[in-house]
Amino acid sequence: MKRNETVSAIAPLLRNRVLRAILIGAPGITAVVAILTSAESNLALAIILNAAAGIVMSIVLFFAISLVARQVTNERVGLVQAAEQGFWHARAQRLSIRDDNGLYTDWYIRLRLQEEIERSQRYGLHFSVLVVKPSGLNQDAELFTTGGESSDRISQHLRQSDMIALLRDGGLAILLPNTGSRAAATVRNRLTKALASTEAQVGLACFPENGDASGALLTAAAAAATEVGKPKSSAA
């Protein structure tokens, strides 16, 4: 047992009045017994008094040590339970496919993208990915909150099979299964118009034209959104 654990366990116990009275009174009782034993001429009575004093001290020490051990055990169990709860809570958050706003999480959209890549490669299909990037720091809460005005604007232009996810960098990824570049460009233009008041940029990437990995497609779509947001240079 570490010293700080012992101190932390004994400290609350010493605030217990009954235990404190026993610990303080036990030495006094022992001293009285010792005086009586030394003054007692009857050997049998002296032995009985010494045995009684030893039993009392043993009980007191056993009681005190048991309380300390119980306190330390309870604290350790509490720490272990708290650590386990924190671990499983954090793990549940990491493994959750949706966040508190109801949007799919970053890891899940990447998994779904990879599954869609494998499915499209097997059957010769096409799909597209959109990345919506807010133009300012104050746009995130409104743009990516379920039930918000901007979120409703986005959902109105998507199908039930489309997926919206919040990326780690703050961007919004939209998976459009079975959607070629032409149809996806139409969706992108509609979203751009719907989000015109927020000045958000919408980038598009298509499979297989812009990559054959989830990370490559998201990077291409994010880069396209950044290009949209850049001011066009005026002709000389």
The CATH number of the domain holding residue 124 is 3.30.70.270
Q: Which pLDDT value is given to residue 196?
A: 85
Domain match, 54 and 112 both: no
Domain match, 87 and 140 both: no
Q: Which pLDDT value is given to residue 17?
A: 62
In a domain, 196, yes or no: yes
Domain match, 43 and 152 both: no
Q: Which pLDDT value is given to residue 117?
A: 96
Domain match, 132 and 82 both: no
In a domain, 101, yes or no: no
Q: Which pLDDT value is given to residue 89?
A: 58
In a domain, 100, yes or no: no
Domain match, 136 and 188 both: yes
pTM over 0.85: no
CB environment 147-165: b (16+ within 10 A), e (fewer): eeebbebbeebbeeebbbb
- What's the total number of domains in the chain? 2
Domain match, 49 and 90 both: yes
Domain that holds residue 187: 106-229
Q: Which two tokens stand for residue 104?
A: 């799919």
Q: Which pLDDT value is given to residue 210?
A: 95
Domain match, 207 and 121 both: yes
Domain match, 48 and 139 both: no
Domain match, 114 and 205 both: yes
CB environment 32-53: b (16+ within 10 A), e (fewer): ebeeeeeeeeeeeebeebeeeb
Residue at 6: amino acid letter: T
Distance CA 104, CA 122 (A): 25
Q: 110 CB contacts (<8 Å, ≥6 apart)?
A: 214, 215, 218
pLDDT < 70 stretches in the chain: 1-47, 49-51, 53-54, 57, 61, 64-65, 67-69, 71-72, 75, 82, 84-95, 136-152, 228-236
Q: Which pLDDT value is given to residue 204?
A: 97
DSSP assignment letter at 231? P
Beta bridge partners of 132: 172, 202
In a domain, 236, yes or no: no
The last residue of one of the domains, among 95, 115, 140, is 95
Domain match, 85 and 139 both: no
In a domain, 207, yes or no: yes
Domain match, 147 and 206 both: yes
